[in-house]
Chains A and B, each alone.
Chain A
């Protein structure tokens, strides 16, 4: 069991640069979530996919954020023109959601973004 893998673990960038994070979910999982977590707060929902379809994107998310899951497997989260307020831990989680069941999320270790 390889678990949910996120890369990179840490990213330091200058304000205005673009960054891209990758998430590899557990292989048979059909749902994939992106969350953002800042110190002392709970994971804040950003977006999620069921297979390759992006089902919802948070209204709080600016247009600088985009996510893809092109083949229903790995996903990427891109932040364009980064701002200091984007500094946070970006968490990926996956789950296997079956009809009539409920969901257990498996989290990756996260990517810590620091925007200077």
Chain B
């Protein structure tokens, strides 16, 4: 069945460091891909999305590119801030033929 695999956390970085959180997926067909974020004490919210191969989703300085050849959707940010500390979830689905399913999440801690 369809699945999403994320790198295990926690990831601890200093402010202004470069961030990569790896995500790979398995799916029959061509789902949309998403990153959701859960800040401390808050619910999940959509961070960015990409709907087809080679699309790049971006928001709040975060980017991820839909790579069909490597079935990946890695999340990157060039310079993290303390306020980026949260749990990040990679997800696939969200089109007519797919339900949305999530990876296990990667917790990010950013130190000042």
A residues adjacent to B (C-beta < 8 A):
33, 35, 40-45, 48, 55-56, 91, 93, 95, 97, 99-105, 107-110
Contact = CB atoms under 8 A, between A and B. Distances in A.
A34 B107 CA distance: 23
B99 A55 contact: yes
A42 B93 CA distance: 15
Is chain A's interface secondary structure helix, strand, loop, or mixed overall? loop
Contacts of A45: 99-102
B46 interface: yes
Contacts, number: 61
A103 B94 contact: yes
Contacts of A56: 99
Given A43-B44, A97-B95, 15 more contacts: A35-B102, A41-B104, A43-B102, A48-B99, A56-B99, A91-B43, A95-B100, A97-B94, A102-B49, A103-B93, A103-B100, A105-B46, A107-B43, A107-B44, A109-B43
Interface residues of B, number: 22
Interface in B90-108: 93-96, 99-105, 107
A103 to B, nearest CB: 3
A42 B104 contact: yes
